[in-house]
Every structure is written in structure tokens, then in C-alpha cells.
């Protein structure tokens, strides 16, 4: 039995070198959320003040969980399901929950790659297709929907998504998105075709390239007018905002999801390590680099947003200058952007009635900086609009959307590996089926399911998956993970394992976090999240040209059948945790009952023989 186990360990693949392992972990942790979610939270939560709860959550919640996953995966050398089954059969459902979450996340996450690919292909056009409105079908003017909104909005909602007015109107499959989605899954499959051998080579490009692009963007953005306004806005703290409990909740959830713990991917990646490897150093390195990347990306993004706000502010003033110049018959260049405020105060003081009758816009730089956006709105609308204003816009668009594709691809490595490794460890497919075919089957199933995101209502479904699949289920899985390792596997045993792997036992900080601080923080975040979600019925924003306040998005509540799907997506992944535990308990009870029955003296054949002998003696 021992020989068999040793041979299985020897047969398990290994990373070619430490760099491949670290790059894969960093690439998985650093995803598109670092570029479009973290800057948004900084923007709405007091700039630099948000860093305080964020760093506290990193130290006491994020890093301990990351270290725990890397250590247990490296020691037991199994995927998520195998690890939790070996700790206790009752915890087998935790691994299944991680695998289901990773599968569902990979389905919608790869749609980001498809969208980035679509924008990438269009970035070679001059001018960029989202820089101007198209002529209408009658050739009598520009498209009305585009004129009412903006060219960037129109290209995203109409040319890319061809979005429907609400989620109940499904629309048809958009063939261009189907092609991009199929291409994205083909790229993922090619990178996975030889398992960690091919992934390890791909991460040299997919993980390092985004840092190169962010650096190029930062250098270029810092030379643009208004970039310093964006950086001042980012780093100016609003300490009063820290009194808001929602800030602390969002900081805790952001660091949790940013590090991508509880997916089972780090367990799978570390299981391919050598048994004696300093996993503590790896966890701290990956965690710190991930958070530093969020801050680094924010500097680049806010430099660009500052430039965009400055351009919008100047455009606003130029419109007002044109109105004042025409109304008061000034000569051209008499009123400029630099002296506009002086002229406006003078005219308003001298001709208050006439100035009040003019249709002048209120231009305030702070207002333009406050216009926040996150997610797809930041990447495909705000940044794409900012790129238009930059000289050589095609080059910057190509670089940005290539970076988005690289970020998404390296995260997909972790999502799909968290599905394939448990499947392999559980031998769900016969051994004669090659790994390449198993990977192809999983990719094909995922692609077929993801076609829902290429419908006219696909963006609404994307938001549902993005908002609910990876939130509540991951918090529950993480809580069970830390309880399973520390209180079922045992702190003492776990410490000895770490000593075996690293040559030193975990210090008092790690022990305190694992035993008390991290579980309590997770429990508080979990309860707070459920309370916040339960207080209001979920709603979504629609893009409807017939809406009376268009181009503003219309807020609608989800219909009952969609609300039921949301609940299902939130509970389906974790339902395996109690079901597996209940099944194991019932199985144990049946075995114990049958075992007691076999050893019962009342069912023993020897008792009957003895009784028969007594009868013979009496006879």
C-alpha cells in the first residue's frame, strides 16, 4: 500500500522550475479585477483612505488563507477534492464546491477574453470605430442612438453586444461574439494541451506582458495634461469615509476575491511542487505582488482618467466660450480656456440677465473626476474613450486590449486547472482517455454553456454570474477550508507538516490568524454580505433607447424566475457540502449497524449450537 502511494506521488507532474510556479500563481491572482475593480473602490471610498481597510484585510484575512491553501496542497499533493476527502470524508463536499465554482466562473470569465478579442481586432481601424457615430440607414444623418449617447457607448452596447432592452428579451446569438468566444476557448485549450508543462511556458508571456503594458501606459499617461489631477484625486484621503461599515465590507471582499482563494486553484498548483519548498515565502510573495499590482494599475488608470476628465472639462469650457463669443460678438481667441473664469465673472457681473438666459453648462473638474465606472464600463467605455484622445490611439488601444486578454487568460489557467485536477484525481474519466481529450471535452462543454452570453441579453446574464457565482459560495468554502485544516486536520499536525516542508514551524501570527482572527473575519463578512443582500431585491441596469431618460441606464428589478436562478447560482455550488457530509454519516451508520448485527450474540450461530447441546444433555 505504501509503495502504491509512493508511486502515485512520483507519477504526479512537477513544475519545470520555481519561476513557472510563481508566475502561474501570480497570473491567476492578478486578474482584470485588479485593473477595473480596485481603482473603482478607491474612487468611491475616499481615495487613499480605502487602502487602510484594504491592507488590514490583506494581512489578517488574505495572506493566511493563501498560505493555508498552498501549504495543504503541497503537503497532500492532491487537487481540492482529494485534499478535503483525505482530511475527512465529511469534508469531501468542500472540494466539489470549489470545483463547481471554478467551472461556473470559467464559463463567464472567458467571455471577457472574447470581448477583448473583438475590441482588439477593431483597434487596427483608423479612425477607431468607437470614436465617431455612423450614418443612419436612410443616409440622412447620424445614428440617433449614437448621437443621444456617445460613440463609445454605442459601439459597446449596440455594435458589440447588440443588447436587448431587458433580460426577458433574449435576442438571438450574435455570430461575431460566437466566433470570438470559440477563438478564446481554442486559445485556452492550446495553452492547456499538455497540462502544467504548456501552462508553465505560456505564463512567461501572459503574466509579464500586462506589467509591461501598465508601465508603458503609466509613462505615457504621466505626460498627458490632467494626469496629476487624477493622481491627486486617487491619493487624497477622505478619512470620514472610514466610518461607513460598507467600506470595510467591500475592502474585505475585494482582497478575498482579488487573491482568488477558495477556488482550489492554489491547492492544485502547489500540489505539483516538490514536498520541501518554502510555501510561506511563496504565499507572502504572491499576496504582496497582487496587492502592489492593484495599486500600480490604479496609478496608471487614474492618470488616464485624470487626462480624460481634463479633456472633458476643457471641452465643456470651449462650448461655453463659443456661446459667449457668439452672443457678445467678441473676436476669436479673445476668451480662452485659461481666462474663461475671469471673463465669465466679469460678464455675469456686468450683464447678469443676459448671461442667465444663455444655455451655459456648469463645468467642474471635480464632477468629471467623480464620474466613476467599474467592470466592463471602465474597460470598454471609459478607457476606450480616453484612448481616442491620446495621440496614436490605435497603438494604445491594441496594447490595452491585448493586456486585458493576457490578464484574463492567465486567470483562466487557474480556473480551469481547479476543474481538471480534481477530475484527474478522482479518475472520473477512464485512464485510456488521454489528458488532451479530457481537456477538450471540458472546454467544449464550457463553450456550449457560455453561448448564453452571446445572446442579446448576454450582458445581463454575465452580470448575474459575475455578481453571484463567485461571492457567497467562495466565502462559505473558505470558512470550511480554514475550519477543516485547523480544527479537523489539527493545528499541531499542520504545524508539523509545515516544519517538514519549510524547516520551521509557523509563528504566533499565522497561528493566531488561522485559529481565531481569519475565521472570525470570514464569518463577519459572510453574515454582513447575506444581511446586505437580503435587505433589497436584486436589480440590474438596462440599456434601452426608448427609455425617457436615455442615455441614462434604466434600473429594473429581476423577474421572479431570474431571481430564482440567482438563488440557485448562489446555493448550488455549496449544497454539496452538507449533502456529502450527510451521505457519509448515513453510510457510516449503516456500516456500524451491520457490524454490530454481525457481532451480536443473539444472531450468533454458536449460541444456537450451545442451546442444542443443552437440549441433548437434558434428553
Residues within the annotated binding site for Na(+)?
Answer: 27, 29-30, 34, 258, 290, 407, 411
Cα-based distances in Å from 60 to 255, 291, 611: 10, 14, 69
| Grid coordinates belonging to 176 | 461575431
Q: What is the DSSP string of 490-556?
A: IHHHHHHHHHHHHSS---HHHHHIIIIIHHHHHHHHHHHHHHHHHTS--EEEE--TTSTTTTSPEEE
| Grid coordinates belonging to 324 | 459667449
Q: What is the DSSP string of 280-307?
A: HHHHHHHHHHHHHHHHHHHHHHHHHHHH
CB-based contacts of 332: which residues, under 8 Å, 6+ apart? 325
Partner residues linked to 557 by β-bridges: 539
How many separate helices (H) and strands (E) can be counted in the chain? 32, 2
Q: Which residue has the cell 518554502?
A: 278
**93 and 579 Cβ atoms separated by less than 8 Å:** yes
**283 and 260 Cβ atoms separated by less than 8 Å:** no
Q: Which residue has the cell 467605455?
A: 381
User: Rounded to an integer, what distance in angstroms lies between the CA atom of residue 91 and that of residue 305?
Assistant: 47
User: Rounded to an integer, what distance in angstroms lies between the CA atom of residue 475 and that of residue 486?
Assistant: 17
**Positions at the binding site:** 27, 29-30, 34, 258, 290, 407, 411
User: Rounded to an integer, what distance in angstroms lies between the CA atom of residue 501 and that of residue 371?
Assistant: 50
| The residue count for the chain | 619
Q: String of b and e for 449-476 (b: at least 16 CB within 10 Å)? A: ebbbbbbbbbbbbbbbbbbbbbbbbbbb
Cα-based distances in Å from 157 to 150, 154, 183, 273, 413: 11, 5, 21, 45, 29
User: Rounded to an integer, what distance in angstroms lies between the CA atom of residue 551 and that of residue 148?
Assistant: 6
Give percent helix, percent strand, percent coil of the chain, each to the nearest 5.
Answer: 75, 0, 25
| Grid coordinates belonging to 598 | 454481525
**550 and 149 Cβ atoms separated by less than 8 Å:** yes
**363 and 313 Cβ atoms separated by less than 8 Å:** yes
User: Rounded to an integer, what distance in angstroms lies between the CA atom of residue 179 and that of residue 157?
Assistant: 18
Q: Cite the DSSP H helix spans in 158-278.
A: 175-192, 196-206, 209-222, 227-235, 245-259, 265-270
User: Rounded to an integer, what distance in angstroms lies between the CA atom of residue 52 and that of residue 604?
Assistant: 70
- The kind and range of the H/E element at 557 are strand 554-557
CA-closest candidate to residue 395, choices 611, 220, 207, 140: 220
Amino acid at each position: 500500500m505504501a509503495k502504491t502511494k509512493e508511486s502515485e506521488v512520483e507519477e504526479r507532474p512537477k513544475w519545470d522550475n520555481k519561476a513557472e510556479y510563481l508566475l502561474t500563481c501570480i497570473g491567476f491572482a492578478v486578474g482584470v479585477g485588479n485593473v477595473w475593480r480596485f481603482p473603482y473602490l478607491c474612487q468611491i471610498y475616499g481615495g487613499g483612505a480605502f487602502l487602510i481597510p484594504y491592507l488590514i484585510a490583506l494581512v489578517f484575512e488574505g495572506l493566511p488563507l493563501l498560505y493555508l491553501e498552498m501549504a495543504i496542497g503541497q503537503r497532500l499533493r492532491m487537487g481540492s477534492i482529494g485534499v478535503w476527502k483525505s482530511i475527512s470524508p465529511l469534508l469531501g463536499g468542500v472540494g466539489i464546491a470549489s470545483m463547481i465554482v471554478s467551472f461556473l466562473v470559467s464559463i463567464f470569465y472567458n467571455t471577457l477574453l472574447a470581448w477583448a478579442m473583438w475590441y482588439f481586432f477593431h483597434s487596427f481601424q483608423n479612425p477607431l470605430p468607437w470614436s465617431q457615430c455612423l450614418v443612419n440607414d436612410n443616409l440622412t444623418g447620424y445614428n440617433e442612438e449614437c448621437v443621444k449617447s456617445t460613440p463609445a457607448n454605442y459601439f459597446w452596447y449596440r455594435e458589440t453586444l447588440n443588447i436587448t432592452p431587458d433580460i426577458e428579451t433574449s435576442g438571438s446569438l450574435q455570430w461575431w461574439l460566437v466566433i470570438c468566444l470559440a477563438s478564446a476557448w481554442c486559445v485556452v485549450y492550446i495553452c492547456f494541451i499538455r497540462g502544467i508543462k504548456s501552462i508553465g511556458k505560456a505564463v512567461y508571456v501572459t503574466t509579464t506582458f500586462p506589467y509591461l503594458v501598465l508601465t508603458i501606459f503609466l509613462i505615457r499617461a504621466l505626460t498627458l495634461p490632467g494626469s496629476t489631477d487624477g493622481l491627486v484625486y486617487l491619493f487624497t484621503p477622505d478619512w470620514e469615509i472610514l466610518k461607513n461599515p460598507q467600506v470595510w465590507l467591500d475592502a474585505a471582499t475585494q482582497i478575498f476575491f482579488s487573491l482568488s482563494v477558495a477556488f482550489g486553484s492554489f491547492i492544485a498548483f502547489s500540489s505539483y511542487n516538490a514536498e520541501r519548498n518554502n510555501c510561506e515565502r511563496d504565499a507572502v510573495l504572491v499576496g504582496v505582488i497582487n496587492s502592489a499590482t492593484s495599486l500600480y494599475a490604479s496609478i496608471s488608470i487614474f492618470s488616464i482618467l485624470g487626462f480624460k476628465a481634463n479633456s472633458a472639462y476643457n471641452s465643456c469650457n470651449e462650448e461655453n466660450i463659443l456661446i459667449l463669443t457668439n452672443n457678445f460678438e467678441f473676436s476669436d481667441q479673445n476668451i480662452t480656456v485659461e481666462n474663461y473664469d475671469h471673463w465669465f465673472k466679469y460678464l455675469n457681473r456686468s450683464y447678469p440677465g443676459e448671461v442667465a438666459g444663455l444655455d451655459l453648462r456648469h463645468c467642474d473638474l471635480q464632477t468629471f473626476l467623480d464620474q466613476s465606472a467599474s467592470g466592463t464600463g471602465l474597460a470598454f467605455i471609459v478607457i476606450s474613450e480616453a484612448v481616442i484622445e491620446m495621440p496614436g490611439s490605435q497603438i494604445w488601444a491594441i496594447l490595452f486590449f491585448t493586456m486585458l486578454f493576457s490578464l484574463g487568460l492567465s486567470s483562466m489557467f487557474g480556473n480551469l486547472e481547479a476543474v481538471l485536477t480534481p477530475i484527474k484525481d478522482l479518475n472520473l474519466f477512464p485512464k485510456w482517455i488521454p489528458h488532451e481529450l479530457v481537456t477538450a471535452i471540458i472546454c467544449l462543454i464550457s463553450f456550449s454553456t457560455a453561448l448564453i452570453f452571446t445572446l442579446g441579453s448576454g450582458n445581463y446574464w454575465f452580470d448575474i454570474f459575475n455578481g453571484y457565482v463567485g461571492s457567497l459560495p467562495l466565502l462559505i468554502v473558505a470558512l470550511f477550508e480554514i475550519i477543516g485544516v485547523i480544527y479537523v486536520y489539527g493545528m499541531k499536525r499542520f504545524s508539523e507538516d509545515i516544519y517538514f516542508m519549510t524547516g520551521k514551524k509557523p509563528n504566533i501570527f499565522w497561528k493566531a490568524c488561522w485559529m481565531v482572527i481569519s475565521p472570525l473575519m470570514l464569518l463577519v463578512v459572510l453574515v454582513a454580505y447575506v444581511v446586505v443582500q437580503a435587505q433589497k431585491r436584486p436589480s440590474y441596469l438596462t440599456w434601452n433607447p426608448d427609455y425617457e431618460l436615455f442615455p441614462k441606464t434604466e434600473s429594473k428589478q429581476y423577474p421572479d424566475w431570474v431571481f430564482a436562478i440567482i438563488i440557485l447560482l448562489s446555493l448550488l455550488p455549496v449544497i454539496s457540502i452538507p449533502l456529502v457530509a450527510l451521505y457519509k454519516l448515513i453510510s457510516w451508520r449503516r456500516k456500524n449497524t451491520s457490524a454490530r448485527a454481525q457481532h451480536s450474540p443473539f444472531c450468533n450461530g454458536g449460541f444456537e449450537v450451545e442451546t442444542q447441546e443443552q437440549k441433548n444433555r437434558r434428553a
